Amino acid sequence: MALKTGIVKENIFLKHIPGDGCPETPQRLKSIYSMLNDPDMQDIFVEVLPKKAEKEDILLFHSQEYFEKIAETKGKKLIALTADTHACEDTFDAALYAAGGFLKVISQVVASKLDNAFALIRPPGHHAEKSRAMGYCLFNHVALGAIFAQKILKLGRILIVDWDVHHGNGTQHAFERDPNVLFFSVHQAGLFPGTGIFTETGLGPGEGYTINLPLPKGYGDAEYASIFERLLAPVAERFMPELILVSAGFDTHKDDPMGGMLMTASGFAGITASIKRTADKVCDGKLVMSLEGGYNSDALSRAVKAVLKEMAGITCCDVSAMAAKADKKKIDYLVRRYIEVHKHLWKSF
C-alpha cells in the first residue's frame, strides 16, 4: 500500500557553503534533489515547504549564547566556528529552515497528516552540542525534534535511531539522563568524535536508555539488517515509543570516503524496512528521518532513493532474508558485547 510520505526540500539548503575542502557540500543535496526528478519518483511524495524555526524553537536544546553566536554569522563571509565547522552568509538561515522543516514534518506526522517523512536538509545536526558546533553540524535537528515532541506535542516516549557511520555525540548528551528518550546508535568504532563506546549507557535515571553499538569496519547490508532485527526491534517493542526519529547518515556506504563499512542502497532499504515494521507495531508508523552524513553524492542519492521507496511502500524489502545472510562471527561478537553491558538493564536479553 502506498503511504503518504512527506519530504522537506528547498534551495535555501544549497546556500550553505562551508568552504574549500569541506566534504559537506551543496552537491550532496543537489544529487538527491535531482534524483527526485527520476521517472520512478514522480507523484509519490508530499513536498513540505520548510518553515523557519523561531529562536524559542532552537532554545529548546541550544543555549541563548550559542544561538546568538550562530546568528552573528548571517551576511558575513566564511567564519570558522570550530576547526571543522564553518558558516557563510546564508548558513544561519539554512540552519533555521533545516530545524524548522524538521519540526514541521514531525508535527504533521504526529497529527496523522503524513504517514512518515524524510527531511532532506543541511547542514546536518547530530554532532552539534548544546553550546558548540562540530562535525559540520550547527543545530541538532533530531535533539530539537525530540524535545519539541515532548514539550510542545506532549508525547511521552521517543526512540532516536542514529545509523550514521559517526557517533551522534550531541544527541546522546541531550538525553543521557532522560528515561523517556531511548537513543540507539550504530556507528563505526574509532572514528570522529571518539564517543559512543559500548559502556556509555546513560546517566542517573537515564541509565539503560542509551545503547551504543560501535562496530569494527567491514559490516555490510546483512550485518546491519541483523543488528536492526535482533537488537533494535525487541528493545523498541519493549520501550513502546510514540514516535521514532532517525539520524539518517549514508557514510556507511561502501563507496563513501569517510568510513570502512560495506553498505549498499539495498542495505539501507533493509534497515528502513526493519524500522518501519517496528514503527507500525508500536506507534502507528510514526517515523521521521533527518539527513546526516553521506559524502559520495552518487551513492548518497541511490541510497536515499531506496529509503524513500521503502518509506512510501513502493518497495517492501525482505529484511529477514537479508539478515539471515549475516556473517555469524561479526554478529556473535556484537551480541555478546551488547548482552554483557545491557543484560541487567533490558531483561529480555
Judge whether 127 counts as a catalytic residue: yes
Question: Residue 21 domain-assigned?
Answer: yes
Examine residue 308 and state whether it is found in any structural domain, yes or no. Answer: yes
Catalytic residue selected from 16, 127, 166, 167: 127
Q: Would you mind telling me the total number of residues written for the chain in this entry?
A: 349
Q: Would you give the DSSP letter of residue 120? A: -
- What's the total number of domains in the chain? 1
* Beta-strand pair 181-188/158-162: parallel
The answer to pTM > 0.95 is: yes
Residues 308, 45 contacting (CB under 8 angstroms):
yes
Segments forming the whole domain that contains residue 269: 5-342
Per-residue tens of pLDDT for the chain, all 349 residues? 678 999 999 999 999 999 889 999 999 999 999 999 999 999 999 999 999 999 999 999 999 999 999 999 999 999 999 999 999 999 999 999 999 999 999 999 999 999 999 999 999 999 999 999 999 999 999 999 999 999 999 999 999 999 999 999 999 999 999 999 999 999 999 999 999 999 999 999 999 999 999 999 999 999 999 999 999 999 999 999 999 999 999 999 999 999 999 999 999 999 999 999 999 999 999 999 999 999 999 999 999 999 999 999 999 999 999 999 999 999 999 999 999 999 877 665 5
Closest CA to 136 of 123, 152, 149: 123
Burial class (CB in 10 A: 0-12, 13-18, 19+), 65: exposed
Residue 218 domain-assigned (yes or no): yes
Domain for residue 348, yes or no?
Answer: no
Within a domain: residue 347? no
Q: Establish if 349 belongs to a structural domain.
A: no
Query: Tell me, what CATH number does 281's domain have?
Result: 3.40.800.20
Is residue 336 in some structural domain? yes
> Is residue 241, in this structure, part of any structural domain at all?
yes
